[in-house]
Structure 1
Amino acid sequence: MSKHLRHMAGMSLGTLFSRVTGFVKWAFMGAVLGFTPIADAYNLAHILPTMIYELILGGILSAVFIPVVVEQLSSQDKEQAWRNISQIFNAALIALGVTTLICWIGSPLLVYLQTLKAGPEIRQQVLFFFIFFVPQIFLYGLSALAGGILNARDRFMVVAFAPVVNNIIAIATLAAYRWVPGFGVVGLALGTTMGVLAQALVQYPSLKKAGWQYHFSINFKHPAVIKIVKLSLPVLAYVILNQINLTVQNNLAINFQGGVSALQYAFAFYVLPHGLFAVSIGTVLLPGLSELAVKKDWPRFAGIVEKGIIWSAIVIIPALVIYLTLSLPIVQVLMQRGRFTLQDTKLMATVLSCYSLGLFSFTIYLFLNRVFYSLQDTITPLALNFIGNASNTIINFALIGLLGIPGLALGHASAYTIIAVISLWLIKKRLPDIRLGHVSRSLIKITAASLLTGAAAFFMNNLWLQQMGPLGLWPKAGILTGFLSFLILLYLAVAKLFGLAEMNEIVLMIKRKITPGNR
């Protein structure tokens, strides 16, 4: 388990840099674009390549590629294994290239489907940006292929740090758009795509060190390719359901000025704790889970699943409570400047609070999804996703008229809560060795420590609303940093007082990582 902790710490560090630079990017975007129509057009156009990539190949690569790579490298001689992996790699590149070309040709139709209720002006703005963003479909795939191989070979750091390069280029692009005369929307669009290109290319030098042996050969009937395709069919249906739900959300949000941007910005904040820690857990544990599944070592497999749930909860539950109580100060300090107004801050803070209600459910559901995929079970995630998306769509239509944009975030939280509960029930049936009683006792301790921390955060939020209005940005930033530091220390102290064993394990690991001579 110490190996998993070391990998998780290293990946979390890379993810931390990625998220910090990501926050700077979002802050620049808010200041430069605000919640204006051009911001909505840019953000919606930026969503589309990700949607299409996920629809065609993204979910397949993340769900199926790593387990198959691990299986290949575990069960055959390395030379033949790399030949088989190259077949999958080359087939994926062809699929990505064809998809990118088709989307470029069909870009007006694709944009129209996302803007059914929008006016012609914003539709034209979305189309303008999307034409420049279409190559990102291929580039995301290029990045995911490299990342999948590196993760399967336990090379997590490069994959975690790659988005930092993208964020830095995006920040420079936004700064140039704001301050360089003549840079304009063409420069903004090109710079955004250049960032995705850099994120992909920066990973490839590390593949050689990971033992990658590339072979230029293409055979769509190769057994490794056929296996990926068979495993991928349910994943493809899974992703289609996601994209239908997202299309509905985009069309509902586009009716509200700033709606698309509010959801995008708030979601970036919402997934920070998940991306910083929980994704690291899933990525680090997945190759190990796949290997244990091949060996049918179910007791150890179940033990790792238990750890994954508890470690995720240690970070996610207190983060949920802090978002609920301090969303307004957080958004105000990080976003409110330039074209981002107080009204924008209030909307985004409300959306963030609604999203955060489902943060733990979101994290647990996605982690357990990866557990099912490590078992090469793609049917269960598909069924769960159908339930989740159907619930989300129904709730969205019910709440959009009552609550506006925050209703869409609340629909997201409600749907993930439903399918997280079902996922836990199913995984227990699949793996009887999982000790849900042990997990529940740890979750109770984490929740109690988080609620005590939340009480202090609630008091701090009231103090902020009453006293901090006249202060400038930097004093507010300093006070908020002090607030958050105190809350983290309080949470750690209470968790230690409650005797949370997993917390002690993580703290000891961190001490070993930062103490000279113990690395």
Structure 2
Amino acid sequence: MTATPPPRDPATPGDPGDVPDEAPQGGLRRGAALMASGTAVSRLLGFLRAMVLAAAIGATGQAADAFSVANKLPNVLYMLLAGGVLNAVLVPQVVRAYKRDGGQEYVDRLLSFGFALLAGVSVVLTLAAPLLVRLYADPCSTTQLALATTFAYWCIPQLFFYGVYALLGQVLNARGSFGPYMWAPVVNNLVSIAGFGVFMAVFGGASADVTWGTPQIAVFAGSATLGVVAQALVLVPALRRAGVGYRWRWGLRGSGLGRAGKVATWTFIGLAIGQLGYVVVSRVASAAPGAACVATSDIAGNAAYDYAFMLFMLPHSLVTVSLATALFTRLSARAHDGDVAGVRADLSTGLRVVGLFTLIAGAGLTVLARPVVRLILVSSSEAAVSAVAGVVVAMAVGLPAFGAWSMCQRVYYAYEDAKGMVPVQAAMAGVVVAGTLLGQAVLPHSAWVAGAGLSMSASYLLGTLMAMRALRRRLGGDVDGAHVLRTHARAGLATVAAAAVGVAVLLVVQVVGPGGVVGALVQCAVVGTVMVLVYVGGLKLLRVRELDQLVGPLVRRLRGRR
């Protein structure tokens, strides 16, 4: 149930076609910084998009949950492509293709096959919209089910364009062009924001009790889909600038895709197992608001889950993905060359540096869950804010484990060992299913979605432990575990101190500061700043050297500009 964009490594600056076995450290940092900046802008606009979306349709209630179910269907395929199959198949294959004669022909065949497959799957799944909605939703209201199905007919075609975006982005990154792939979602957000704004101007927002007819659905869902179309199409000129002259070439025989197909098969199996867990979560979330078959508008459902997951993914996207992306191609090259020590060193670096960020990010989200949610749900009720904030806390406690699990996945993908991940993914899915159903059985329906979030956090921890054990055997009995644990232990102490001070400061600011959205903004700014300062001070006091690897490049760049 991970949703991480595909990882890669920068090429030597000045030559987008050169993908070296080992990128210079400066190129690594520049690539990570470029990707992080694109992701940061995209996520900030994503916050604005979420605010406009909530103003247009709400964060809880029938219409919000119906759209959430419909719009998650294309996103599920995107997560499968970007989080798994393309990582396992395309990156290693494309990197090697560009190192040999005739490599572009190989890439052309792979892209042609991918486009054809995406088109076919998109058509079939669009026609199957009623079945898919019933799979992912279990609402008490037949009206909500019908609305979700109608939304799905407009949203599912996004599948094709999400896939095109992922495929072209993988090729661009393999050629050393990292910016377009990370900046393209900015266009998506801008188009969606404009479309949702038009919807509110014409039909009114969440507080206007909109009647959902064909015009309303076409404008609202059409805006979401048009944003994804734009996100894919802006990569076409970037592909040309990167020197990729794509031509349609059909035929897999002799293209070397047989091995890639085997990797893809095992990757699909593992991800399908993970999707069983997600189906259970989605159905429980869908059933929660109508558990008593009465109209309940402020109980966390699928829409609340989506908002919470967006906040949960924000720190992961800004740092974990950027670093993993900058390391992955080098990991693939070292794995291919049999450089076990190099793979071990990259994994250790990734785990330690990512851990420094995810620990404080998880603590910050936990302490500031309510004011952060209020900044997004500007016009929502206090009950709706509380519903989403509870889910955010349940997910945030698992953020450090999620970051570590993501790094472990990159090593599996570097060795093209999708089969080896299947037992881990099966165990993780089992934890999600069991935890979600247990929460449904013993918790009030207002806490069902939070229970699902907590079970996801537990699954990330289990996945990390199982993966590290397996990778230890693969990497010669050592994954630099002692070094990683020492760093996490010291950072954990600093995190506890920062969280304790943060809670105290938050209580004071809540008493003496303003209320409403302005108060939430003040709370986030003041408490967030204090927590970061306490955390950084604790890391320095405990002599955590990885802090320089995390913030050193930014500090040196700022000093250079002065």
Superposed pair shares fold, TM > 0.5 = yes
Contact kept, 8 Å, 2:109 with 2:255, in 1: the verdict is no
| Aligned pairs, number | 512
1:67 equivalenced with 2:88 (yes/no): no
How many angstroms does 1:16 deviate by?
0.7
- Give the letter for the 1:382 counterpart: V
**1:413 maps to which of 451, 454, 457:** 457
User: Could you say if the C-alpha distance between residues 428 and 444 of structure 1 is closer, same or farther in structure 2, counting changes exceeding 3 Å?
Assistant: same
Contact kept, 8 Å, 2:139 with 2:286, in 1: the verdict is yes
C-alpha distance in structure 1 between counterparts of 2:203 and 2:392, whole Å? 35
Q: Name the counterpart of 1:288.
A: 330
Q: Name the counterpart of 1:331.
A: 373
Q: Deviations over 1:2-50 (max 9, x none)?
A: 3322211221111111111111111222222221210001111000112
**1:193 maps to which of 216, 225, 229:** 225
**2:542 maps to which of 498, 510, 514:** 498
Q: State TM-score, norm by structure 2.
A: 0.87
**2:395 maps to which of 355, 370, 374:** 355
Q: Name the counterpart of 1:40.
A: 65
Q: Deviations over 1:223-257 (max 9, x none)?
A: 33222211101101112112222111111111123
**1:364 maps to which of 386, 397, 404:** 404
C-alpha distance in structure 1 between counterparts of 2:275 and 2:479, whole Å? 33
Contact kept, 8 Å, 1:14 with 1:161, in 2: the verdict is yes
- Give the letter for the 2:38 counterpart: G
C-alpha distance in structure 2 between counterparts of 1:513 and 1:57, whole Å? 31
**1:200-219 to 2 correspondences below 5 Å:** 200-219=232-251
- Give the letter for the 1:28 counterpart: V
- Give the letter for the 2:410 counterpart: R
**1:104 maps to which of 126, 129, 150:** 126
1:264 equivalenced with 2:306 (yes/no): yes
User: Could you say if the C-alpha distance between residues 492 and 8 of structure 1 is closer, same or farther in structure 2, counting changes exceeding 3 Å?
Assistant: same
1:307 equivalenced with 2:331 (yes/no): no
Aligned to 1:254, the other structure's residue is in SS state: helix
Range with bigger deviation, 56-65 or 107-116: 56-65
How many angstroms does 1:475 deviate by?
4.4
C-alpha distance in structure 1 between counterparts of 2:460 and 2:257, whole Å? 32
C-alpha distance in structure 2 between counterparts of 1:53 and 1:514, whole Å? 36
**2:286 maps to which of 254, 268, 274:** 254
C-alpha distance in structure 1 between counterparts of 2:119 and 2:493, whole Å? 51
Aligned to 1:212, the other structure's residue is in SS state: coil
Contact kept, 8 Å, 1:85 with 1:224, in 2: the verdict is no
Q: Name the counterpart of 2:11.
A: none
Contact kept, 8 Å, 1:111 with 1:123, in 2: the verdict is yes
C-alpha distance in structure 2 between counterparts of 1:497 and 1:208, whole Å? 50
1:429 equivalenced with 2:473 (yes/no): yes
Contact kept, 8 Å, 2:69 with 2:137, in 1: the verdict is no
How many angstroms does 1:515 deviate by?
4.1
C-alpha distance in structure 2 between counterparts of 1:95 and 1:341, whole Å? 44
Contact kept, 8 Å, 1:292 with 1:298, in 2: the verdict is yes
More helix by share: 1
C-alpha distance in structure 1 between counterparts of 2:199 and 2:461, whole Å? 40
Contact kept, 8 Å, 1:87 with 1:224, in 2: the verdict is no
C-alpha distance in structure 2 between counterparts of 1:248 and 1:198, whole Å? 32
- Give the letter for the 1:180 counterpart: V
Q: CA RMSD in A?
A: 1.9
Q: Name the counterpart of 1:128.
A: 150
- Give the letter for the 1:283 counterpart: T
User: Could you say if the C-alpha distance between residues 143 and 56 of structure 1 is closer, same or farther in structure 2, counting changes exceeding 3 Å?
Assistant: closer
C-alpha distance in structure 2 between counterparts of 1:6 and 1:361, whole Å? 26
How many angstroms does 1:119 deviate by?
2.6
- Give the letter for the 1:128 counterpart: T
C-alpha distance in structure 2 between counterparts of 1:202 and 1:280, whole Å? 21
Q: Deviations over 1:106-163 (max 9, x none)?
A: 2222222222454321111111111011211100110000111122223222111111
Contact kept, 8 Å, 2:506 with 2:527, in 1: the verdict is no
C-alpha distance in structure 2 between counterparts of 1:8 and 1:125, whole Å? 42
1:2 equivalenced with 2:26 (yes/no): yes
- Give the letter for the 1:179 counterpart: A
**1:342 maps to which of 382, 387, 390:** 382
Contact kept, 8 Å, 1:151 with 1:283, in 2: the verdict is no
1:51 equivalenced with 2:92 (yes/no): no
**2:422 maps to which of 382, 389, 408:** 382
- Give the letter for the 1:200 counterpart: A
How many angstroms does 1:311 deviate by?
1.2
Contact kept, 8 Å, 1:71 with 1:294, in 2: the verdict is no
Contact kept, 8 Å, 2:66 with 2:145, in 1: the verdict is yes
Contact kept, 8 Å, 1:496 with 1:504, in 2: the verdict is no
Q: Name the counterpart of 1:317.
A: 359
C-alpha distance in structure 2 between counterparts of 1:244 and 1:12, whole Å? 32
User: Could you say if the C-alpha distance between residues 244 and 118 of structure 1 is closer, same or farther in structure 2, counting changes exceeding 3 Å?
Assistant: farther
C-alpha distance in structure 2 between counterparts of 1:87 and 1:28, whole Å? 41
C-alpha distance in structure 1 between counterparts of 2:383 and 2:29, whole Å? 42
Range with bigger deviation, 16-25 or 296-305: 296-305
Aligned to 1:462, the other structure's residue is in SS state: helix
**2:163 maps to which of 141, 166, 176:** 141
Aligned to 2:98, the other structure's residue is in SS state: helix
Aligned to 1:337, the other structure's residue is in SS state: coil
User: Could you say if the C-alpha distance between residues 58 and 292 of structure 1 is closer, same or farther in structure 2, counting changes exceeding 3 Å?
Assistant: closer
Contact kept, 8 Å, 2:365 with 2:392, in 1: the verdict is yes
Contact kept, 8 Å, 2:87 with 2:413, in 1: the verdict is no
Q: Deviations over 1:307-332 (max 9, x none)?
A: 11011111100011112222112212
Contact kept, 8 Å, 1:87 with 1:222, in 2: the verdict is no
How many angstroms does 1:472 deviate by?
4.0
What percentage of residue pairs aligned between the two structures are identical?
25
C-alpha distance in structure 1 between counterparts of 2:254 and 2:194, whole Å? 44
C-alpha distance in structure 2 between counterparts of 1:264 and 1:448, whole Å? 31
**2:54 maps to which of 14, 25, 30:** 30
Contact kept, 8 Å, 2:368 with 2:524, in 1: the verdict is no
- Give the letter for the 1:37 counterpart: Q
C-alpha distance in structure 2 between counterparts of 1:23 and 1:336, whole Å? 10
Q: Name the counterpart of 2:192.
A: 170
C-alpha distance in structure 1 between counterparts of 2:329 and 2:190, whole Å? 30
Q: Deviations over 1:49-83 (max 9, x none)?
A: 12245557863113321111112223x12xx0010
C-alpha distance in structure 2 between counterparts of 1:55 and 1:222, whole Å? 27
C-alpha distance in structure 2 between counterparts of 1:30 and 1:181, whole Å? 15
Range with bigger deviation, 195-204 or 496-505: 496-505
